[in-house]
């Protein structure tokens, strides 16, 4: 007998968390952030308290109360107290709930509740809350999803809820040591646990950087097929608005087959058909968990059609083109790149996207090209910090293709400063008293430096774009509006008018609506042209060159008909009523949050 419980994706878009329990093994299908529900409580200036995040999020209902899945440190802060004699310093009797959740048990490796997690793709609404799961739980996904999960962390300021790939440094609660800077010695504080490590090789350049502590990563398995306890699995690649998306097909201990579609579409650049997908699934599934994001939409615009629209938009533009698309959507990148190249314009992308492209190339060179070799592609260099275009203003992935430059606190460290010293262009030139290199500059040293500083040497700055605006298409998001000061001359009467094109998804909550209106104010102020339409409330909305990452209503109905499952469970939708109406006389099993469904 199999039991399924939905802890997200129920009457909401995303946040999928599906618990599948069998007599032989227990797995989770996705463990994503309930973005809309999370947004009801948190915003840019109101974030979860890092030292109390799990307990706070469970209390709000953003995270579900499930036994045996979360790390003990998140459930019980007192488990991190290094010296039990220090426990008396905490007001445990007065406020025990500050430190420990009593209604939930942590993960126990000796009697594990969860045997594995399957991640369908690396969008936050499917992967982010893995951050709170115990690191001992194995994550199954495609190789591309693993690469993207790592890249997101590499180019982000990781917080407590961004640990779906790299884990934060281990800590303990200890008494503060006596020191001339310490006002209150022996009071409790969080302190890092020393795990000193020597050098670690960076596969991108072949240089072994010095690390202060051993980085910790979750365990990922990218096998396409396998077995978890008594459950056989197969990952089925699908097209979506992010690389590496897959469906998960489980063969349960009783030989019944459960298909979880994840997010998918049939109108992307891969042009995978419904018949192709059904053929990969094989024998009809007994149980189908299917996404229904666009159950109310009959539109079937394809990525190739979007590419043609964008190409015509660029062709008709007189001056600079500002184009908005997501940095993790590599299908859309290819669309924009091909359209720009066809019009003989240079596409200028963000360092984040450049980093992701290079990571894909490094790990999958037979599938992804080296972005440094792509014609008509450059990386945009913002004025950072001092606004002087000083090379000293840039760090790590903002200056090149490396996210880590090594530990830099002792002469014995092997870091980018020592590389600069060896090349006589930085550090204490010609003054190295404890050399770490053999005589003569090696190709590895040169390659490391070139990768680390690639964008500074080969990127494009705003004033260069301003000189020849009609030569460029610039990747441009609402977060980049300050760049308009540098891109558009103050006295621009004779300067060709810039044009903005939106190739990203439409707003899906009130906060995003406000952000879009604010963004339009910026474009209007700098006389940037854009296409828009007006709704019944006289609010302007961008006309978009965009196609969704999700199947449309006709495709959903055709897919369900051809799969012909015995049980249909719609998820990732706010419109289960329409789902039910369209499937008549068949009746889907509509999940309810936290209520188990028994599959016979």
Burial of 162 by CB count in 10 Å (0-12 exposed, 13-18 middle, 19+ buried)? middle
The answer to whether position 208 is within a domain reads: no
Mean pLDDT of 260-264: 96
- Using an 8 Å Cβ cutoff, are 348 and 378 in contact? yes
Mean pLDDT of 309-323: 93
- Compute the mean pLDDT over every residue in the chain, rounded to the nearest whole number: 91
Same domain? For 245 and 363 the reply is no
Q: Given 542, 561, 588, which residue is the final one in a domain? A: 542
User: What's the structural domain count of the chain?
Assistant: 2
Same domain? For 486 and 361 the reply is yes
The pLDDT-based confidence of 20 (bands split at 50, 70, 90) is very high
Same domain? For 501 and 464 the reply is yes
* pLDDT on residue 158: 74
* pLDDT on residue 107: 93
pLDDT at 434 > cutoff 80: no
Mean pLDDT of 254-268: 91
The pLDDT-based confidence of 196 (bands split at 50, 70, 90) is confident
pLDDT at 400 > cutoff 60: yes
The pLDDT-based confidence of 258 (bands split at 50, 70, 90) is very high
pLDDT at 441 > cutoff 70: no
Same domain? For 272 and 311 the reply is no
- Tell me which DSSP letter residue 593 carries: B
**Pick the residue with more confidence: 485 or 267?**
485
DSSP letters of 157-211?
A: ---TT--SSEEPPPEEEEEPPP-TT-SSTT-EEEEEPP----EEEETTTTEEEE-
Same domain? For 39 and 129 the reply is yes
Which of 126-140, 352-366, 422-436 shows the lowest mean pLDDT across its residues? 422-436
Question: Tokens 């917080």 belong to which residue?
Answer: 159
Q: Given 542, 570, 589, which residue is the final one in a domain? A: 542
Percent of the chain predicted with pLDDT > 70: 97
**Pick the residue with more confidence: 182 or 322?**
322
* pLDDT on residue 433: 61
Q: Which two tokens stand for residue 561?
A: 């008909």
* pLDDT on residue 508: 63
* pLDDT on residue 305: 83
The pLDDT-based confidence of 423 (bands split at 50, 70, 90) is confident
Digit-coded pLDDT (tens) for 410-420: 777 889 998 98
The answer to whether position 282 is within a domain reads: yes
Burial of 296 by CB count in 10 Å (0-12 exposed, 13-18 middle, 19+ buried)? middle
The answer to whether position 264 is within a domain reads: yes
The answer to whether position 42 is within a domain reads: yes
SS3 content of the chain, % helix, strand, coil (to 5): 30, 20, 50
* pLDDT on residue 432: 57
pLDDT at 343 > cutoff 90: yes
Same domain? For 476 and 569 the reply is no
Same domain? For 281 and 312 the reply is no
**Pick the residue with more confidence: 422 or 377?**
377
The answer to whether position 196 is within a domain reads: no
Q: Locate all alpha helices (DSSP H) within 423-570, ordered by sequence.
A: 443-452, 454-458, 462-467, 484-487, 510-525, 553-563
* pLDDT on residue 36: 86
CATH of the domain at 27: 3.60.15.10
pLDDT at 426 > cutoff 60: yes
pLDDT at 215 > cutoff 60: yes
pLDDT at 253 > cutoff 60: yes
pLDDT at 437 > cutoff 80: no
Question: CA angle 167-168-170, nearest 5°?
Answer: 105
The answer to whether position 536 is within a domain reads: yes
Which residue range is the domain that position 143 belongs to? 2-47+114-162+218-294+552-599
Q: How far apart are CA 12 and CA 311, in angstroms?
A: 35
Same domain? For 250 and 383 the reply is no
Which of 109-118, 329-338, 511-520, 579-588 shows the lowest mean pLDDT across its residues? 511-520
* pLDDT on residue 435: 61
* pLDDT on residue 256: 95
* pLDDT on residue 445: 92
* pLDDT on residue 440: 59
| Sequence-distant (≥ 6) Cβ neighbours of residue 22 within 8 angstroms | 1, 2, 3, 229, 230, 231, 252, 253
Mean pLDDT of 371-392: 96
Digit-coded pLDDT (tens) for 476-525: 999 999 999 999 998 877 889 999 999 887 666 667 778 888 999 999 99
Determine which helix (DSSP H) or strand (DSSP E) holds 277, and give its type and residue range.
helix 274-281
DSSP letters of 311-329?
A: HHHHHH-SS-EEEE--TT-
Q: Which two tokens stand for residue 26?
A: 């227990």
Digit-coded pLDDT (tens) for 551-573: 899 999 999 999 999 999 999 99
Mean pLDDT of 135-163: 93
Question: CA angle 558-559-565, nearest 5°?
Answer: 115
Same domain? For 223 and 371 the reply is no
Same domain? For 124 and 248 the reply is yes
The answer to whether position 590 is within a domain reads: yes
Which of 16-25, 261-270, 336-345, 468-477 shows the lowest mean pLDDT across its residues? 261-270
Same domain? For 286 and 324 the reply is no
- Tell me which DSSP letter residue 32 carries: -
Q: Which two tokens stand for residue 54?
A: 């799990």
The SS3 assignment for 494 reads coil
Q: What CA–CA distances, in Å, run from 382 to 218, 465, 495, 562? A: 33, 12, 21, 51
* pLDDT on residue 313: 92
Digit-coded pLDDT (tens) for 199-214: 899 999 999 999 988 8
The answer to whether position 198 is within a domain reads: no
**Pick the residue with more confidence: 39 or 439?**
39
pLDDT at 123 > cutoff 80: yes
Which of 211-215, 282-286, 348-352, 535-539 shows the lowest mean pLDDT across its residues? 535-539
CATH of the domain at 493: 3.40.50.10710
The pLDDT-based confidence of 424 (bands split at 50, 70, 90) is confident
pLDDT at 270 > cutoff 90: no
Neighbours of 429 (CB within 10 A): 12
Which of 138-147, 264-273, 515-524 shows the lowest mean pLDDT across its residues? 264-273
Q: Given 518, 542, 566, which residue is the final one in a domain? A: 542
**Pick the residue with more confidence: 28 or 547?**
28
Same domain? For 231 and 154 the reply is yes
């Amino acid at each position: 007998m199999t039991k399924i419980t939905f802890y997200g994706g129920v009457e909401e878009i995303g946040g999928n968390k599906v618990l599948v329990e069998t007599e032989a093994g227990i797995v989770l299908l996705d463990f994503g952030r309930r973005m809309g529900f999370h947004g009801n409580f948190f915003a840019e200036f109101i974030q979860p308290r890092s030292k109390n995040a799990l307990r706070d999020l469970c209390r709000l209902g953003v995270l579900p109360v499930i036994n045996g899945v979360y790390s003990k440190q998140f459930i019980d802060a007192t488990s991190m107290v290094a010296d039990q004699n220090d426990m008396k310093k905490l007001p445990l009797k007065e406020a025990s709930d500050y430190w420990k959740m009593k209604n939930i048990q942590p993960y126990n490796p000796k009697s594990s509740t969860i045997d594995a997690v399957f991640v369908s793709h690396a969008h936050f609404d499917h992967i982010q809350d893995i951050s709170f799961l115990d690191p001992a739980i194995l994550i199954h996904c495609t190789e591309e999803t693993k690469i993207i999960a790592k890249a997101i962390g590499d180019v982000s300021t990781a917080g407590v809820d961004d640990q779906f790939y790299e884990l934060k440094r281990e800590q303990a609660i200890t008494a503060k040591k006596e020191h001339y800077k310490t006002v209150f010695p022996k009071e409790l504080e969080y302190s890092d646990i020393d795990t000193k490590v020597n050098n670690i090789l960076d596969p991108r350049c072949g240089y072994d950087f010095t690390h202060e502590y051993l980085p910790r990563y979750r365990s990922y398995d990218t096998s396409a097929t396998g077995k978890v306890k008594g459950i056989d699995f197969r990952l089925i690649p699908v097209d979506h608005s992010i690389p590496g998306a897959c469906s998960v097909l489980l063969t349960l201990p009783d030989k019944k087959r459960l298909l979880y579609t994840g997010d998918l579409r049939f109108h992307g650049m891969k042009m995978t058909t419904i018949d192709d997908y059904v053929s990969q699934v094989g024998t009809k599934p007994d149980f189908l968990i299917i996404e229904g994001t666009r159950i109310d939409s009959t539109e079937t615009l394809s990525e190739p059609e979007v590419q043609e629209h964008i190409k015509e938009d660029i062709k008709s533009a007189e001056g600079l083109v500002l184009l908005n698309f997501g940095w993790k959507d590599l299908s859309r990148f290819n669309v924009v790149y091909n359209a720009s190249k066809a019009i003989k314009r240079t596409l200028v992308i963000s360092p984040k996207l450049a980093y992701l492209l290079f990571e894909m190339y490094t790990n999958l060179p037979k599938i992804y090209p080296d972005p440094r070799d792509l014609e008509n592609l450059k990386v945009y260099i913002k004025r950072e910090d001092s606004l002087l275009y000083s090379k000293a203003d840039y760090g790590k992935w903002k200056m090149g293709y490396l996210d880590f430059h090594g530990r830099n606190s002792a002469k014995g460290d092997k870091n980018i400063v020592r590389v600069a010293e060896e090349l006589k262009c930085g550090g204490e030139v010609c003054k190295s008293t404890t050399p770490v290199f053999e005589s003569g500059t090696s190709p590895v040293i040169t390659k490391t430096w070139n990768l680390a500083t690639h964008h500074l040497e080969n990127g494009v700055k705003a004033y260069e774009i301003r000189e020849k605006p009609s030569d460029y298409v610039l990747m441009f998001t609402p977060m980049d509006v300050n760049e308009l000061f540098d891109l558009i001359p103050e006295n621009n009467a004779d300067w060709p008018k810039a044009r903005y094109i939106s190739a990203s998804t439409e707003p899906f909550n009130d906060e995003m609506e406000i952000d879009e209106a604010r963004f339009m104010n910026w474009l209007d102020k700098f006389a940037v042209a854009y296409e828009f339409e007006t709704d019944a409330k006289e609010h302007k909305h961008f006309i978009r060159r965009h196609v969704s990452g999700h199947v449309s209503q006709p495709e959903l109905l055709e897919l369900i008909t051809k799969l012909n499952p015995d049980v249909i469970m719609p998820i990732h939708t706010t419109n289960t009523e329409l789902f039910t109406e369209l499937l008549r006389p068949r009746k889907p099993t509509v999940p309810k949050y936290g209520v188990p469904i028994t599959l016979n």
